[in-house]
């Protein structure tokens, strides 16, 4: 009767709870039982492990009763990440590897039928969770997953390409190979942490001709972390502007890059070539509420979390399902989303910058000087009414993007490039961070009064404006925060009337025909 314990990790949101893989070999009718609230893909590990051990030339205990327990029993387990620890547990219980040598290591990896290791999702999220909990342990991961986990500073990561590479590193003392210190094992490679390099250049704002007002609004949004709604006819350049917005944002810090990449890793979308690049999510307007905010069982991140520390671009905003748009309200305020289900609860970060675009009417040409609008006032009102007041209230800047006449489009010189605008954005955001430790958009409660430095004349002007336009308290506060960002871009210590007046221009709302 033999028992072996191998350590691994499950995934629950961005948390990585510890899982002990317990393998027990006993006499009796030959069987292979897997318990511990395992999902279907985990239970299928029985066949993968059996074939991998046989094809790798290792002994599978056919004449034993094999019981594998994934503890704790009440923690759901999914994916094929437990294949490798289950195989090692069987080998340790049968004496083919040294169970004592496995201490201090954690394993994850899916096995092919030949014994090769395949990557698993969430490796970076696991490594980041270990670093946050200050747990020092060596992780043995497949190629692809190991490189992800090694992005975390001070992470102890070993890359293994094949099951035999792992077995050679944990052979019992006195075996022919002599253990991990004496084995020439090319597939067993400790990895060094990967430093954050320079972000790759994206599309340039100079490609967009004209649209000075829209570019100014995007510069303010980038400097203060504000959300933007662009309103204009088809072909006016809304999508071009939105796709270049991420390039205006300051370079990511290591912490921001790790948070963003961890969510992408959890969803299986991490791309090493995009390491340190702010993401731009662009879901189609048929996306459901669950696709946007996350959900499922077990809960998985949605588009707002995949855009964490980056940009979420929603084109054709009124065409999104009403439930999906209303689900954005809380994340826009708090910067995180809690997915609560009957069996589980998961928290995901969702500090994204919303850039939305829409046409003014169903045909798209309301107010255009180039084509007549075919829509009736009732159609326009119904179309714009798809956006609720509370949602529009949470979008800081509303900017019109008019169509550019053909002669101006052809003769217009190239606009200001992204690098020049980003330099001003970095300086303005640096002033805000030095003053209050956060972006202006994140100011809440008394911090608004403390850091705004509002002139008396500007305060009187804003009070009059808010009363005439019927603004809510949220609208007034958001206008104040935009004004503070405009002052930071101008290098001003106090928020003056001119800054407030420009901020007011960005909250005029939608205009239906009279």
pLDDT at 324 over 70: yes
Q: Are residues 229 and 167 in the same domain?
A: no
Q: pLDDT tens digit string along 382-394?
A: 999 999 989 999 9
Q: Are residues 153 and 288 in the same domain?
A: no
Q: Are residues 147 and 224 in the same domain?
A: no
Pair of tokens at residue 45: 């590990």
In contact, 221 and 397? CB cutoff 8 Å: yes
Domain termination site, one of 191, 220, 251: 191
Pair of tokens at residue 401: 């993007």
* pLDDT confidence band for 176 (50 / 70 / 90): low
Total domains present in the chain? 2
pLDDT at 346 over 70: yes
Alpha-carbon distance 77 to 71, whole Å? Answer: 10
The end-to-end CA distance of the chain, in Å, is 85
Please tell me the predicted confidence (pLDDT) of residue 343: 72
Segment 232-253 shows an average pLDDT of 92
Burial class (CB in 10 A: 0-12, 13-18, 19+), 509: middle
Q: pLDDT tens digit string along 76-124?
A: 898 899 999 999 999 999 999 999 999 999 999 999 999 999 999 999 9
pLDDT at 510 over 80: no
Q: Are residues 318 and 290 in the same domain?
A: yes
Q: Are residues 124 and 187 in the same domain?
A: yes
In contact, 83 and 49? CB cutoff 8 Å: yes
* pLDDT confidence band for 413 (50 / 70 / 90): confident
Q: Are residues 125 and 229 in the same domain?
A: no
Q: Are residues 323 and 374 in the same domain?
A: yes
Please tell me the predicted confidence (pLDDT) of residue 183: 46
Q: Are residues 360 and 498 in the same domain?
A: yes
* pLDDT confidence band for 181 (50 / 70 / 90): very low
Alpha-carbon distance 358 to 386, whole Å? Answer: 11
Please tell me the predicted confidence (pLDDT) of residue 249: 95
pTM of the model: 0.87
Tokens 């195989």 map to which residue?
Answer: 87
Question: What CATH number has the domain bearing residue 264?
Answer: 3.40.50.300
291 domain residue, yes or no: yes
In the chain, % of residues over pLDDT 90: 70
274/512: higher pLDDT: 274
* pLDDT confidence band for 514 (50 / 70 / 90): very low
Q: Are residues 285 and 162 in the same domain?
A: no
Among 51-65, 200-214, 355-369, 431-445, whose mean pLDDT is lowest? 200-214
439 domain residue, yes or no: yes
Q: Are residues 186 and 163 in the same domain?
A: yes
513 domain residue, yes or no: no
Segment 494-513 shows an average pLDDT of 83
**DSSP 8-state class, residue 18:** E
Please tell me the predicted confidence (pLDDT) of residue 408: 76
Segment 49-54 shows an average pLDDT of 96
**Peptide bond before 72: cis, by omega within 30 degrees of 0?**
yes
CA dihedral 55, 61, 66, 72 (to 10 degrees): -60
**In this structure, is the dihedral angle defined by the CA atoms of residues 463, 468, 469 and 472, taken in order, positive or negative?**
positive
Element of type H or E holding 159: strand 156-160
- The strand ranges marked E within 232-273 are none
In the chain, % of residues over pLDDT 70: 95
Domain termination site, one of 191, 226, 247: 191
Q: Are residues 293 and 336 in the same domain?
A: yes
What number of other Cβ atoms are within 10 A of residue 288's Cβ? Answer: 15
Alpha-carbon distance 380 to 491, whole Å? Answer: 41
Rounded to the nearest angstrom, the gap between the alpha carbon of residue 300 and the centroid of all alpha carbons in its chain is 11
196 domain residue, yes or no: no
Q: pLDDT tens digit string along 201-217?
A: 778 898 888 888 999 99
State how far the alpha carbon of 392 is from the alpha carbons of 316, 333, 386, 441, 481, in Å.
15, 13, 11, 15, 16
Segment 291-311 shows an average pLDDT of 91
Among 173-182, 206-215, 226-235, whose mean pLDDT is lowest? 173-182
Please tell me the predicted confidence (pLDDT) of residue 170: 94
Domain termination site, one of 128, 156, 191: 191
State how far the alpha carbon of 2 is from the alpha carbons of 23, 25, 26, 453, in Å.
8, 5, 7, 71
Among 144-153, 176-185, 242-251, 342-351, whose mean pLDDT is lowest? 176-185
Question: What CATH number has the domain bearing residue 9?
Answer: 3.30.230.10
Please tell me the predicted confidence (pLDDT) of residue 259: 92
In order, the DSSP letters of 357-384 are: EE-SSSSS-TT-SSS-----HHHHHHHH
453 domain residue, yes or no: yes
Give the residue from 262, 252, 224, 440 showing the smallest Cα distance to 349: 262
* pLDDT confidence band for 165 (50 / 70 / 90): very high
Which residues are bridge partners to 68 per DSSP?
23, 34
Alpha-carbon distance 309 to 233, whole Å? Answer: 29
Q: Are residues 289 and 394 in the same domain?
A: yes
Give the residue from 146, 10, 151 showing the smallest Cα distance to 77: 10
Please tell me the predicted confidence (pLDDT) of residue 441: 93
The residue segments making up the domain with residue 436 are 205-505
Give the residue from 212, 233, 473, 248 showing the smallest Cα distance to 373: 233
93 domain residue, yes or no: yes
Mean pLDDT taken over the chain? 90
């Amino acid at each position: 009767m033999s028992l072996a314990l191998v350590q691994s990790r499950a995934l629950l949101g961005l948390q990585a709870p510890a899982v002990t893989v317990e393998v027990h070999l006993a006499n009796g009718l030959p069987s292979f039982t897997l318990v511990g609230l395992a999902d279907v893909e985990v239970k299928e590990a029985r066949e993968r492990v059996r074939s991998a051990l046989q094809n790798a030339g290792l002994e599978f205990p056919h004449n034993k009763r094999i019981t594998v327990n994934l503890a704790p029993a009440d923690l759901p387990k999914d994916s094929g990440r437990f294949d490798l620890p289950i195989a090692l547990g069987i080998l340790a219980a049968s004496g083919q590897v040294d169970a004592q040598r496995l201490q201090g290591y954690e394993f994850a990896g899916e096995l092919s039928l030949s014994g090769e290791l395949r990557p698993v999702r969430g490796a970076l999220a696991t490594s980041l969770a270990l670093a946050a909990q200050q747990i020092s342990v060596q992780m043995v991961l497949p190629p692809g997953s190991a490189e992800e986990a090694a992005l975390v500073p001070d992470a102890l990561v070993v890359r293994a390409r094949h099951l035999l590479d792992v077995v050679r590193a944990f052979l019992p003392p006195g075996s022919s190979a002599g253990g991990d210190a004496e084995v020439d094992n090319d597939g067993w490679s400790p990895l060094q942490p990967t430093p954050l390099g320079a972000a790759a250049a994206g599309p340039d704002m100079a490609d967009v001709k004209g649209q000075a007002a829209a570019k100014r609004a995007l510069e303010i949004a980038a400097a203060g972390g504000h959300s933007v709604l662009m309103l204009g006819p088809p072909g006016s350049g809304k999508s071009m502007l939105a796709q270049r917005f991420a390039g205006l944002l300051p370079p990511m810090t290591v912490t921001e890059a790790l948070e963003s990449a961890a969510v992408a890793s959890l969803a299986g979308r991490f791309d090493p070539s995009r390491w340190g690049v702010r993401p731009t999510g662009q879901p189609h307007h048929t996306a459901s509420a669950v696709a946007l905010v996350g959900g499922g069982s077990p809960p998985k991140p949605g588009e707002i979390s995949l855009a964490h520390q980056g940009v979420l671009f929603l084109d054709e905003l009124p065409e999104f399902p009403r439930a999906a748009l209303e689900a954005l309200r809380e994340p826009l305020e708090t910067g995180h989303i809690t997915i609560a289900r009957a069996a589980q609860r998961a928290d995901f970060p969702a500090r994204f910058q919303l850039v939305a675009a829409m046409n003014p009417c169903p045909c798209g040409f309301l107010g255009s000087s180039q084509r007549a609008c075919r829509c009736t006032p009732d159609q326009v009102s119904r179309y714009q009414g798809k956006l609720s007041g509370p949602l529009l209230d949470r979008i800081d800047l509303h900017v019109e993007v008019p169509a550019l006449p053909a002669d101006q489009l052809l003769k217009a010189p190239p606009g200001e490039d992204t690098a020049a605008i980003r330099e001003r954005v970095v300086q303005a955001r640096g002033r805000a961070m030095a003053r209050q430790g956060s972006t202006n958009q994140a100011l809440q409660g008394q911090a608004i009064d403390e850091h705004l430095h509002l002139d008396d004349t500007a305060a009187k002007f804003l009070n009059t404006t808010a009363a005439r336009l019927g603004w809510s308290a949220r609208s007034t506060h958001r206008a104040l925060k935009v004004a503070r960002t405009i002052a930071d871009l101008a290098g001003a210590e106090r928020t003056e009337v001119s800054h407030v007046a420009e901020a007011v221009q960005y909250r005029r709302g939608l205009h239906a025909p009279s």
